C-alpha cells in the first residue's frame, strides 16, 4: 500500500451502504461480513511499515492532522456507532 499525503475523502452519500441493501439481508450475514472486513483491515495494518505509524496526514473533512492510530480509532468509533444501532434494533424486535 502506497503512502498518501491526505486521507481518502469519505462518501457522505452512503452509496455503498445503499447499494448493499442491508434491510433485506439477515443480521448474521451483515455481522459476518462486518467481521471479515474488520479482519481484512487488521491484516492490512499489520503488514504496514512501522514508520507509517509516526506519520500524520490531514483528515480531509476535519482538516486535522491524524496519525494512523488516530484514524483507526476514528474508524472503530464509527463502527461502534453502527453496532450499537444494530443492537438497539435487535432488542426492539424481540
Please state the length of the chain. 94
C-alpha separations of 11 from 15, 20, 28, 58, 60 in Å: 7, 14, 25, 17, 12
Q: What is the mean pLDDT of residues 45-71?
A: 89
Return d(Cα 48, Cα 53) in angstroms, integer: 9
Secondary structure element (H or E) that encloses residue 66, with its range: strand 65-67
Query: Which three cell numbers mark 16?
Result: 455503498
Whether residue 37 is predicted with pLDDT greater than 60 in this model: the reply is: yes
Least confident of 7-11, 42-46, 51-55, 87-91: 7-11
Question: Is residue 35 very low, low, confident or very high in pLDDT (cuts 50, 70, 90)?
Answer: very high
Half-sphere CA count of 6, side-chain side, radius 13 A: 9
pLDDT given for residue 60 in this prediction: 80
Amino acid at each position: 500500500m502506497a503512502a498518501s499525503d491526505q486521507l481518502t475523502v469519505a462518501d457522505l452519500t452512503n452509496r455503498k451502504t445503499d447499494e448493499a441493501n442491508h434491510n433485506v439481508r439477515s443480521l448474521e450475514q451483515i455481522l459476518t461480513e462486518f467481521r471479515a472486513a474488520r479482519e481484512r483491515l487488521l491484516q492490512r495494518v499489520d503488514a504496514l511499515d512501522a514508520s507509517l505509524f509516526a506519520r500524520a496526514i490531514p483528515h480531509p473533512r476535519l482538516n486535522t492532522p491524524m496519525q494512523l492510530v488516530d484514524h483507526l480509532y476514528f474508524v472503530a468509533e464509527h463502527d461502534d456507532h453502527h453496532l450499537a444501532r444494530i443492537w438497539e434494533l435487535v432488542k426492539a424486535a424481540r
